[in-house]
Amino acid sequence: MTVFRKVVGAVSALMILAATAVAPVGAQDGGSASGLRISPTRNEVTVAPGETGQAKFNIKNVTSGPIVVKSQLNDFDPQEDGSPKPLKDGESNAASIKSFITLPSDLSLTPDQDDDVVIPISIPDNQAPGAYYGVVLFQGVPANQTGGGQVSLTGSVGGIILVNVPGNIKESMQLVSIRAGRATPGSNNEIRLSNVFAQPFDRVQIKVKNTGNSFLKPFGKVTITNWRGSEVASYEMNDSDPRANVLPDSQRVFTNNIEGVKLPGRYTITAGISYGDGGDVLTQKVNVWYLPIWTVVVSVLVLAAIVFAILRLLKRSPRK
C-alpha cells in the first residue's frame, strides 16, 4: 500500500497548493481630499539646462468657508503601485527637484472658488541630463487660523512634478515578472497572487523595472490562452491617456482585470512589453493553473482506483 499512500500524498499536496495565496496589493489614492481638489494630479515638463519652465495646477476650495492654501515641496520614493512615498525630513534622493523649484505664495480661496497655481522650474546650466521629480503638497488652512500657534487643516492634496532634462538619456527596462491573481471578496481591493487557483483568476499583474535615467511609459499586449492555445482574453497594458510613468531605478506593477477564464486547466499568460519608440520588445510568459476542488477530488479518486486495481491484480497474479 506504499504506492497508494504516495499517490494520495502527492495529490493532497496539490490541493493545499491550490488553496495557497500570497501578499495583498493595495489601491492607489485619488486627486482630492476633504477640503481641496487638485487638477491635474501630475505635471510632466521638459526643461533644458539654463532654461526655465513651469508646472501648473488648479486648486479648488470644496469647503464651506474661506481658506488659505499653503504649499511645501517633498522628495519621495516611488512605490510599486505608482503612488509617491514622501521622504522624512532630512532625507533626499538624487532625483530631487528642490533646487529647481520656487514655491508659490499663499493662495486665498472663498468657498467653491478655484484658481491656478504656477510653479516656476529653473534648471542650472550644468545640470546632468535625466529625470527628476518631487511632490508639492497643498494644505488648506481656515482663513481665521493663519496666525501663530496651532492650526487645523481643512485638507491637503499633492501634485507630482516630473522634470525631464534633455541630453545623454538612457532608456532601459526589465520585465521583472508576470503574476496571476484573484480579487479577495469583501476586501479593500486586495488581490491574492498564485500560480494555482481553485477559482478562476481575474487579475494579471505585470511588474517592470526602469534601469535607465529617464521616465519610461511601458506599453504592450498581454494575452491569456488555454491549454489548446486558444485565446480567452487579451488587453493593452498601460493604455491610459496619458500613460503612467515608471521612474528611474524603480519598479512598478500594472494590474488589469480580465475575463474569460472559465474551464479548468492550464492557462498561459504572455506579455510583449515595449517602451520609448517601441523598438525594443520584452517578451515573457508564465503558466497558471485553474483547478477547482472537485477536479482535484476526482483526480484523487481516479488515481486511488487505479492504484487499488493494480494492487489487486498484483495480489492475484500467481507466483512462480
In CATH, 36-165 is 2.60.40.10: yes
- CA-nearest of 72, 75, 83 to 28 is 83
- Give the model's pLDDT for residue 6: 42
pLDDT < 50 regions, the chain: 1-33, 149-151
pLDDT, position 154? 64
Parse the chain into domains and list their residue ranges.
Answer: 23-27+171-291, 36-165
Residue 249, C-beta contacts closer than 8 angstroms, at least 6 positions apart? 210, 211
pTM above 0.85, yes or no: no
The pLDDT of residue 319: 58
How much is the pLDDT for 152? 55
Distance between CA 245 and CA 253 in Å, rounded?
11
Question: How many residues comprise the chain?
Answer: 320
* Per-residue model confidence (pLDDT) at position 221: 97
Question: Same CATH fold, 36-165 and 23-27+171-291?
Answer: yes
pLDDT, position 93: 86
Neighbours of 201 (CB within 10 A): 25
- Domain 23-27+171-291 indexed as CATH 2.10.60.10: no
For residue 305, the model assigns a pLDDT of 75
CA distance 68 to 110: 9
Distance CA 26, CA 189 (A): 6
What pLDDT is stored for residue 90 in this prediction? 78
- For residue 253, which of 7, 16, 20, 27 has the smallest C-alpha distance? 27
| Residue pLDDT, tens place only, 126-157 | 999 999 999 999 999 988 875 554 445 567 89
Lay out the sheet containing 36-39: strands in order across.
36-39, 52-61, 114-122
